[in-house]
Structure 1
């Protein structure tokens, strides 16, 4: 192994380093060639003539077998990491199914129709997976879900409940980001290049998958709560009771996500402790209802759904690895 010392140079806003001339010539490189860089904590390696990951392609024959669904097939191929999905038909693809295919593209981040004629539709994933970031996607999902929760919480004490009518649309965006993250995670499990880029071990990939699923499920629960609040016959005082006990859920959420992203065990413990306090409040209000011998099913159901959301945040904090001495 030959070692070289090079001084970093600044050109404009970029920091550059020159490659050894002998190494460049030995590998027959020119300015138009590409090399692959792999970085670690304090090292960087440069590889030439590295075979790129082949584009994964799948063909869906049309018409589909009985009970199959074209949207489900496309979504499944997307989640499995296929870059190119070709839909080939023996005859003309009906307008109805064309619209289904086109609408499905709105649910799949990065997927676009690139070619189309009467009997063929080709869609392609146009994003470079190495430019994506699992942590940022998870934070995006988290941010949308937290916004949904905050609007829902305010609706409990407000006469204006128009904001919570948009929760189902925001849940659709959660689903889009969730699908993108699942695709990225699956690709990482079979592509060591991506695992190295994101600095994720197999256990980390599994934890991201679980965290994303928890957030997606919590988002669905928030839509369920919004529907209940919109149609509730509970009094303002009962809704105020729920608001008072759910104010701390936002803090549990923020601490859980930050703890997971940063792998901060101390913050995770705080989130879990906050969830225990919330459970204590839930227990107290249930006892209060029982002491009055009142069977307030609607009130208890709403409290239970908020409890499910809080449990989701705490479950994410539980994924943060303990520190053993």
Structure 2
């Protein structure tokens, strides 16, 4: 980004400012062209009035250098907002690498292979970014993760724990929504029109990025927890004690997401208070067994994972900005 300094000029009753010639030439503008002007409290933005966002294209030449990885390159391009990714090879693409490319598509919402031959693969992002909604994507991440959480809680007291082994597959969908949200909010940083469509300022975009990362981590921790419970040798009594504390956490988590997405500071304050009470109850679980010579390590591990999970949603609600008196 290049910065220019201009002095305001008064002509008649109007205040005018000249635009940099370099910018005019780069956007093929002339004296009859229209531009878009967006104003903020202490800022103004001028952009070329283009009806459609230019398509971002990337060509990846194959074979890659030894230190590069095709899946990482495709994922990185997706997260950077590229709409078309072309893989061009000087020879036939190996079957193993071709399968890796196909598998990578399953992780990237909206990205599809549209053309393929022996030495070329063309991928395209088929969704319209302006029809997507960061708020809905974040809520979907939270909803999927909380569904996993509910199954983990039920696994504490159920005789049939087979469902716990399927949670890693559902976490894949959390990761898919995470990648989509990261792509979208990164795009808003370089496309002010898109940011205006979502009504997000720079701080809001950053907060969504942080919130998405917290929920993605929560999904990973729930999978870890499901493995611990599945393989646990804890007594039914200890598992029931844990279940009695953690079973209604989804109510707190939902309040946290609602407070963040609205945003609603009063609801956030309520959620923060509920999180504090929840953490205190988890801490008391250790005291229950404190008079015993040795606390089962499984017990501590499971409680610790629940603490980590709850903290993810607590950290999301902490992002809601306080209300300051003018």
In structure 2, what is the equivalent of residue 89 of structure 1? Answer: 89
Q: Which runs of 4+ in 1 moved over 6 A?
A: none
1:76 maps onto 2:76 in alignment: yes
Listed one character per residue, the Cα deviations across residues 221-274 of structure 1 (whole Å, up to 9, x for unaligned) are 000000111111111111111101112321221110010011111111111111
Q: Report the CA distance between 1:154 and its aligned residue.
A: 0.8
CA distance in 2, matches of 1:295, 1:280: 19
In structure 2, what is the equivalent of residue 212 of structure 1? Answer: 212
* 1:77-156 matches, cutoff 5 A: 77-156=77-156
Q: When the two structures are superposed, what TM-score results if normalisation uses the length of structure 2?
A: 0.84
Q: Report the CA distance between 1:276 and its aligned residue.
A: 1.1
Secondary structure of the 1:109 match is: coil
CA distance in 2, matches of 1:268, 1:160: 37
Secondary structure of the 1:322 match is: coil
CA distance in 1, matches of 2:133, 2:159: 40
Listed one character per residue, the Cα deviations across residues 171-220 of structure 1 (whole Å, up to 9, x for unaligned) are 00000000000000000010001001000000000000000000000000
For structure 1, the residue ranges without an aligned partner over 5 or more in a row are: 1-26, 28-35, 39-46
1:201 maps onto 2:213 in alignment: no
Secondary structure of the 1:156 match is: helix
Q: When the two structures are superposed, what TM-score results if normalisation uses the length of structure 1?
A: 0.84
Listed one character per residue, the Cα deviations across residues 147-168 of structure 1 (whole Å, up to 9, x for unaligned) are 0001110111111112222210
Q: Report the CA distance between 1:144 and its aligned residue.
A: 0.2
CA distance in 1, matches of 2:133, 2:118: 37
* 1:45-56 matches, cutoff 5 A: 50-56=50-56
In structure 2, what is the equivalent of residue 11 of structure 1? Answer: none
2:242 and 2:285 in contact (8 A); partners too: no
CA distance in 2, matches of 1:282, 1:113: 48
Secondary structure of the 1:88 match is: strand
CA distance in 1, matches of 2:164, 2:205: 33
In structure 2, what is the equivalent of residue 62 of structure 1? Answer: 62
Q: Report the CA distance between 1:289 and its aligned residue.
A: 1.6
In structure 1, what is the equivalent of residue 276 of structure 2? Answer: 276
CA distance in 2, matches of 1:116, 1:274: 53
Listed one character per residue, the Cα deviations across residues 55-105 of structure 1 (whole Å, up to 9, x for unaligned) are 111111111111321111100000000001010111110111111111111
* 1:180-259 matches, cutoff 5 A: 180-259=180-259
CA distance in 2, matches of 1:122, 1:48: 30
CA distance in 2, matches of 1:295, 1:50: 66
CA distance in 1, matches of 2:160, 2:271: 31
In structure 1, what is the equivalent of residue 291 of structure 2? Answer: 291
Q: Report the CA distance between 1:53 and its aligned residue.
A: 1.9
Q: Which moved more, 1:65-74 or 1:78-87?
A: 65-74
Secondary structure of the 1:319 match is: coil
CA distance in 2, matches of 1:198, 1:217: 25
For these two proteins, the number of residue pairs brought into alignment is 283
CA distance in 1, matches of 2:78, 2:255: 32
Q: CA RMSD in A?
A: 1.9
Q: Report the CA distance between 1:48 and its aligned residue.
A: 11
1:248 and 1:278 in contact (8 A); partners too: no
